Amino acid sequence: MSIQLTEVSKTFGTFQALKSLNLTIEKGEFIAILGPSGCGKTTLLRLLAGFEQPTTGEIRMNRQVAAKPGFSLPPEKRHIGMVFQSFALWPHMNVTEHVRFPIRHHQETPAHIRDKEQERIASVLQMVGLSQHGTRMPHELSGGQKQRVAIARAIASEPSLLLMDEPLSSLDAMLRMDMRREIQSIHRQTGTSIVYVTHDQSEALAMADRIVVMKDGGIEQIGAPQDIYLRPQTEFVAKFVSKANLIRGRWNHDRFVPAGADGSVEWQGSRVAEYFKSCGLYPVRPDQFQLDSPDPSGIPGEVTNVQFQGKEFHYHIRTEDGQWEISSPRQFHLRDKVSLQLPASEQL
C-alpha cells in the first residue's frame, strides 16, 4: 500500500503531538519511525491505523483519502495488520486459533474455501517458524514465540500495510537479533509495506529501507539508513543516530578548521548539512577519532567511562572542551590520561 501524509497534525487539548507532517511511503517499503520517548511515534501509528483522526491535514492510502478532519475510514476497512509491544495475545486461544481469527470463515462456507483457510494458516505458521506449536496456548510459549504468534496473526489476512509498535522491546538481546532477521524475511516474503516504530537506532538502521527521525512531534530527517547515519542534517540526528561529537571550529568556505587545531587539520565539509555550517560545528562519529597514550600532538584528555563492546571499547573522554564519546579497539582504563587525535579529512 502506498501512503501519503500531507500537512498532518494532531492536537490533544492544547498539546500539539504531531506538527504538520509530510511523508510519502511507497508500496512495499519498510519504514522505521525513530525518535525518543514522547516524540509522537505511536500517535502517528494510531493515525495510520485509524484509531485517531488528524486535527488538520490529510492521509491517503493507495491514493484514496483515508482520513481528514471530519472523516476517517474505520480501522477494519484499511486492510492493515498491527503488532504491539505487549503481544496482546488472547489467553483462551491456541496458536492456530490466533492465526485463524482474522481469516475465519463460517461453518457454512464451502469446503474448498475452508481448505484454503487451512493452507493459509499452515503457510503463515511456517513463515514464523511455529508449525510444530499450533496447539500450544499462550502460557506455554516463550516470549519470542509469543511475539511470533502476534506477527503471524497480523499477517494472516495478507494486509497491505503492517504497523509495528516497538514489537521487540520486551524481548532479550539475543532474541531481538533473531526476530530482526525474521521480520526482514517476512517483509521479503510478503512484500507488505511496513511502518515500524522504535526508539532504538540500531534496530532502525539494521532493518528499514528508509528512516523517519522524529523529535517533538515533527520530522527531523527522512532518508536511507546510511544517509541518516553518515549525513545527519541536524544536531539532534547527529547525536541521536550516529552518537556524533559536535566539534566547534571555523568554516573557511567549504573547509572546516577545528578549534585548537591551529590550521594543522582541515576537513572537507561538502558532505555536511548547511545546518552545521551555520552554527560552526562539524559532526564526528565516535569511530572517526584515534585514541592514543599521551602525546603532545593530540588533544589531552582523561577516561571518565569505559564500556567493553566486543570488538572495541566505548569511552567517555573529558577534555578541556567538554565530554567526547570515542570508540577504539585499544584498551584504556578509568582515569587514564589519553591523547585524542582528530581524523584527517580523508578519514571522515
Alpha carbon distance 127, 144 (integer Å): 14
Binding mask 255-294 toward ligand ATP (x if CB under 6 A, else -) reads: ----------------------------------------
Distance CA 135, CA 159 (A): 24
Q: Is 96 in the site for ligand ATP (CB under 6 A)?
A: no
- How many chain residues touch ligand ATP (CB under 6 A)? 12
User: What minimum distance in Å lies between the beta carbon of 73 and ligand ATP?
Assistant: 20
CA distance 241 to 249: 22
Contact with ligand ATP (CB under 6 A) among 14, 37, 107, 226: 37
Residue 221 in grid coordinates: 530527517
In 3-state terms the chain splits into helix, strand, coil percentages (rounded to 5) of 30, 35, 35
Under the binding rule (CB under 6 A), the answer on residue 191 touching ligand ATP is no
Q: List Cβ neighbours of 164 (8 Å cut-off, separation of 6 or more).
A: 82, 83, 183, 194, 195, 196, 197
Which cell goes with 51?
A: 484509531
Toward ligand ATP, which CB reaches closer, 216 or 302? Answer: 216
Residue number with CB closer to ligand ATP (45 or 124): 45
**Cβ at position 25, least distance to ligand ATP in Å:** 18
Using CA atoms, how far residue 269 sits from 10, 274, 326, in Å, is 38, 10, 21
Can you tell me the distance from the alpha carbon of 63 to that of 55, in angstroms, rounded to the nearest whole number? 20
With binding defined as CB under 6 A, does residue 297 bind ligand ATP? no
Report if residue 201 touches ligand ATP, rule: CB under 6 A: no
Residue 199 engages ligand ATP in binding (rule: CB under 6 A): yes
- Per CB under 6 A, 41 contacts ligand ATP: yes
Round to whole Å and give the CA distance between 279 and 156.
51
| Binder among 3, 39, 48, 155 for ligand ATP (CB under 6 A) | 39
Give the alpha-carbon dihedral of 20, 24, 28, 32, to 10 degrees. -40
C-alpha cell at 120: 493459509
Q: Which stretch binds ligand ATP (CB under 6 A): 37-45, 117-125, 219-227, 333-341?
A: 37-45
- What are the strands of the beta sheet with 255-258, ordered from one edge? 267-268, 255-258, 245-252, 281-284
Contacting residue, 3, 23, 43, 201, with ligand ATP by CB under 6 A: 43
Based on the shown chain and the rule CB under 6 A, indicate whether residue 42 belongs to the binding site for ligand ATP.
yes
**Shortest distance in whole angstroms from residue 40 CB to ligand ATP:** 4
C-alpha cell at 39: 516524540
Interface region with ligand ATP, contact rule CB under 6 A, candidates 40-48, 74-82, 96-104, 253-261? 40-48
**What does the alpha-carbon distance between residue 257 and residue 253 come to, in Å, rounded to a whole number?**
10
Q: Which is nearer to ligand ATP, 52 or 258 (CB)?
A: 52
Task: Select the residue interacting with ligand ATP from 5, 34, 40, 203 (CB under 6 A).
Answer: 40
Q: Which of 14, 15, 297, 308 binds ligand ATP (CB under 6 A)?
A: 15
Residue 272 neighbours by CB under 8 Å, 6+ apart? 231, 256, 282, 283
Can you tell me which of 22, 24, 26, 38 binds ligand ATP, judged by CB under 6 A?
38
The residue ranges that bind ligand ATP (CB under 6 A) are 12, 15, 17, 35, 37-43, 199
